[in-house]
Amino acid sequence: MTVQANTEGRSLDEVNNDISAALAKYQFPAGYRVVTGGDVEQQAEVFGSIFAALGTAVLLMYLILVMQFGSFLDPLAILISLPLSLIGVVLMLLITGDTLNIMSMIGVILLMGIVAKNAILLIDFAKWAREKDGMSLRDALITAGAIRLRPILMTTFALIAGMIPVALGSGEGADFRAPLGRAVIGGVITSTVLTLIVIPTFYEILDEMRTKFARRFGFNVAQQTAEHKVPETLVPQAGD
């Protein structure tokens, strides 16, 4: 037996959750079960594809960073910025009354590359300052935050300004696209603020763990750092 219905005034997830809660109270005879289809089934397939794409994007990003930094730990400090953006996405969707739909999930995928950029600017400059000028890790991170703050804020404000027309939802079909802009704006704001605090702290913790591990097993950390020092001709100047 097939039961069909349309939703109005409420999201598909809310209606489906109420139906599932009501059906859970009934004891079906042996051999009988309830299977959802239609929009619910299609939504589940789409979300499954989006989550698979999101996981693949994060994995590829990690592999590229491993090759660029020559380390398996340094990219972890960069990728920790990704969940920080989800805080802003959820808060913005709650404020605007939107749901976590297809467009907002696409916005989350867009955020993965945008948010990681800020962390890359910080970590890369800190590594350069530490290797070239011989700064301590904490001083290098403080210097990186001070010098890279301006380009990080410039790109953040430019992105927010570009997403405002989408987030306002004016025009034909704007209600469908609006969650994408709102998710990106919320994620960028919180990630920019938290990245400047969380990423340097987490990177310092990872470096301390790596140093303790190297000392425990007898690795020469100073020698490894000297071997991987950036050539003088390839190092950008502070004003670049």
* Residue 46 in this model has a pLDDT that exceeds 70: yes
* Band of residue 97 on the pLDDT scale cut at 50, 70, 90: confident
Whether residue 20 is contained in a domain is answered as: no
pLDDT at 218: 65
Whether residue 14 is contained in a domain is answered as: no
Q: Are 200 and 126 in contact (CB under 8 A)?
A: yes
**Residue 48, domain extent:** 40-234
In tens, the pLDDT along 75-93 reads: 888 888 888 888 888 898 8
In tens, the pLDDT along 171-186 reads: 676 777 888 888 899 9
- Calculate helix-pair angle for 102-133, 137-168, nearest 10 degrees: 160
Whether residue 163 is contained in a domain is answered as: yes
Whether residue 136 is contained in a domain is answered as: yes
Q: What is the DSSP string of the chain?
A: --------SS-HHHHHHHHHHHHTTS-PPTT------THHHHHHHHHHHHHHHHHHHHHHHHHHHHHHHT-SSHHHHHHTHHHHHHHHHHHHHHHHT--S-HHHHHHHHHHHHHHHHHHHHHHHHHHHHHHHH---HHHHHHHHHHHHHHHHHHHHHHHHHHHHHHHHT-STTHHHHHHHHHHHHHHHHHHHHHHHHHHHHHHHHHHHHHHHHHHHTT--HHHHHHHTPPPGGGPPPTT-
Domain count, the chain: 1
Higher pLDDT among residues 214 and 138, named by residue: 138
Average pLDDT, integer, range 218-235 = 46
Amino acid identity, position 42: Q
Question: What CATH number did the domain enclosing 60 receive?
Answer: 1.20.1640.10
pLDDT at 82: 84
The sign one gets for the Cα dihedral 51, 46, 163, 158 is positive
Whether residue 77 is contained in a domain is answered as: yes
Measured CA distances, 72 to 38, 45, 54, 91, 197 (Å): 44, 33, 20, 32, 22
CA atoms of 98 and 107, how far apart (whole Å)? 13
Whether residue 8 is contained in a domain is answered as: no
Whether residue 10 is contained in a domain is answered as: no
Measured CA distances, 191 to 175, 185, 188 (Å): 25, 10, 5
Mean pLDDT score of the chain, rounded to an integer? Answer: 80
Higher pLDDT among residues 9 and 32, named by residue: 32
Higher pLDDT among residues 1 and 201, named by residue: 201
* Band of residue 125 on the pLDDT scale cut at 50, 70, 90: confident
* Band of residue 228 on the pLDDT scale cut at 50, 70, 90: very low
Could you tell me which of 126, 128, 109 has the C-alpha nearest to residue 118?
Answer: 126
Whether residue 103 is contained in a domain is answered as: yes
